[in-house]
A = this chain, B = another copy of it.
Amino acid sequence: MIDMTPYDSQMLKGLVSFLLLDLVAAETDYGYSLVVRLHERGFTELTEGTVYPALSRAEQSRWIDAVLVPSEKGPARKYYRITPAGNEERLRARAAWQRLAHLVDAFGSHPHQPESEEK
């Protein structure tokens, strides 16, 4: 009776928007395709129900903007492109993630010592 989920959904909070910004920054893309790309990279639990609202929020925050492009198959696709502000946010979020990851990884190490900053 082991929990088969690869990661903890709570730990994804604040990360989904960053992942999307990173994907869109690398390549202008639309929602459905972004879901597929996320799945390919291991985030198998992320579905449209999570990604579309996240894209809407990012658009409202002016981190991405959208262009509707008719598709041969199915309804029109909404292609998202990163904005300059979005790129800044992407870099900010990445830095925040790296700091956090560093703190967590160093967590078990020292019993307690405020000082000692190696590197």
Contact = CB atoms under 8 A, between A and B. Distances in A.
Interface of A: 3, 5-15, 19, 22, 26, 37, 40-43, 92-93, 96-97, 99-101, 103-108, 110-114
Contacts of A110: 41
A9 B96 CA distance: 10
Contacts of A113: 40
A101 B41 CA distance: 13
| Identical copies in the complex | 2
Contacts of A105: 101
B37 A107 contact: no
A103 B11 contact: no
B22 A108 contact: yes
A97 B19 contact: no
Contacts of A41: 103, 106-107, 110, 112
A100 B14 contact: no
Contact of A97 (B13, B104, B112): B104
Contact of A11 (B8, B97, B106): B97
B100 A11 contact: yes
